[in-house]
Amino acid sequence: MSKMGATNSRFRYCRWIGLFITPFILCFCPQFSLANPNFVVPKRVVSIHLCADQLLLALADKSQIASVSHLAKDPVRSHMAAAAKDVPVNYGGAEEVIAYKPDLILAGAQSTRTLVLALRRLSFKVIDLPLTHNFREIRSQIQKVANLLGHPERGEKLVYKINRALNRILIEKGSKRPLAAIYQPMGFTSGSGSLENTLLVSAGFENLAARQGLGTLGHLTLENLVSAQPDLLVNWMGDDPHPSLARAGYKHPVFSKGLWKIITIPQKYWACGSWYSAEAVEFLSKLRRSIVRE
C-alpha cells in the first residue's frame, strides 16, 4: 500500500512537468503496483456504485469484470453504458455481490455503510471511491483504480486525455467571466467545492451559487434566480427521461422569458466526475466564448 501512495505523489509531480514529458517518464517508471510482491491482479471485480462502474469499465480487461451496478446500463447517467451492455448487473445487495465471489469490490461514497461493513466483515476487499469534486481528485482516483486493476498505463492514458482537453481551453486574460447558475427545480444548486462548480469555473464562468457563498449542495429560490439574471442557466434535469416534479419545474413560465441562455449538459458527463468531465468543460468554454462575443 505504501508503494501505491508513492505512485500517487510521483504522479502528481509528473502532472506539473507537463503533458509531453509524462509519457517519457512513464517509460522509465517501473509499474509500481505490479512491482509490489504482494500485488495480485484481481480477476473478478464487482462494482456496486455508478461512479466506480465507469472506471472499472474503462480501465479493466473485460475478463476482469464480474459485475457492475444496474445504473451502469442507464444511458442517461452512465458514460460507459455501451461498454456495460453484456456485463452482469447487481442491485447492491450483499448476497448477490458475494455470489460473484469477487476478489475486489469497488464501492462509492454513497454505497450503504451497512453493506460495505458487512462485506468487509466477511473479509472481502472493498475499496471506497469517494465522489470527486475537482480534476486533482479525478486524476488521483483514476490512477488509484488503474493501479488496483493492474493497468496503470491505462490510467495514465485517461489522465493524459484530461490534461490535453483542459490545455485546449484558453481563457483569455482579463476576458469577461459570464455568470452561470445551475438550477434544479425544487431549488437545488451547486456551489463552491462541487464538481459542477469546478466545471463552470474551469470553463471561465462565474458560478452564481459560489458567489452567494453556497456550498456543495445549496438552495436557491426561483425568485433569487430571476433577480440574479445569470447569463447562462444549466438545466440539471434537461435530459432526464422520467417525469418528476423536479423536471416539471422547468415548465414554469419564468424559464421561457428569454432572460438567459438555458443549456443542458447530459448527466452522464457529470453524474460522476471522471475523465470525460473535461469534455464538458471544453463544451462549456466554447459556449462561454459565444456568450462573451454576444
Partner 1 sequence: MNFFLSYAAQLSENKLVKREKILYTAILVFLFCLIALSMMVGSVSLSGAEIWRALIQPDVSASAIIVHEIRLPRTILAVLVGGTLGLSGAALQGLLRNPLAEPGLIGASSAAAFGASAVFYFGLAAHSFFLLPLAGMCGALTAVGILYLLGGRNASALGLILSGVAISAFASALTALTINFASSYYAALEITFWLLGSLADRSMDHVYISLPGMAIGFFLILSCRQSLTVLSLGEDTAQTLGVNLVKLKALLIVGIALSVGAAVSVSGAIGFVGLVVPHLLRPYVGYEPGRLLIISAIGGAALILAADIAVRLLSTGIEIKLGVVTALIGAPFFLVLLLQMRKRIQ
Q: Which residues bind partner 1 (CB under 8 A)?
A: 185-187, 219, 221-224, 226-227, 229, 237, 240-249, 251-254, 257-259
281's grid cell: 468543460
Quick one: 2 or 221, whose CB is closer to partner 1?
A: 221
* Strand 188-189 relative to strand 218-219, pairing: antiparallel
Shortest Cβ 258–partner 1 spacing (Å): 7
Quick one: 122 or 248, whose CB is closer to partner 1?
A: 248
Q: Dihedrals φ, ψ of 235, to 5°?
A: -80, 110
Shortest Cβ 288–partner 1 spacing (Å): 23
Quick one: 236 or 275, whose CB is closer to partner 1?
A: 236
Shortest Cβ 247–partner 1 spacing (Å): 7
Burial 14-45 (b: 16+ CB within 10 A, else e): bbeeeeeebeeebeebeebbeeeeebebbbeb
- Integer angstrom CA distances of residue 273 from 108, 160, 167, 184, 280: 12, 16, 18, 18, 10
Shortest Cβ 215–partner 1 spacing (Å): 11
Shortest Cβ 34–partner 1 spacing (Å): 39
- Nearest residue to 185 via CA among 275, 252, 120: 252
Quick one: 74 or 137, whose CB is closer to partner 1?
A: 74
Strand locations in the chain (E) = 45-47, 65-69, 89-90, 104-108, 126-129, 179-183, 188-189, 206-207, 218-219, 232-235, 261-264
What number of helices (H) and strands (E) belong to the chain?
13, 11
Quick one: 75 or 249, whose CB is closer to partner 1?
A: 249
Quick one: 103 or 239, whose CB is closer to partner 1?
A: 239
DSSP β-bridge partners for residue 49: none
Distance of CA 121 to the CA centre of its chain: 29
Shortest Cβ 289–partner 1 spacing (Å): 26
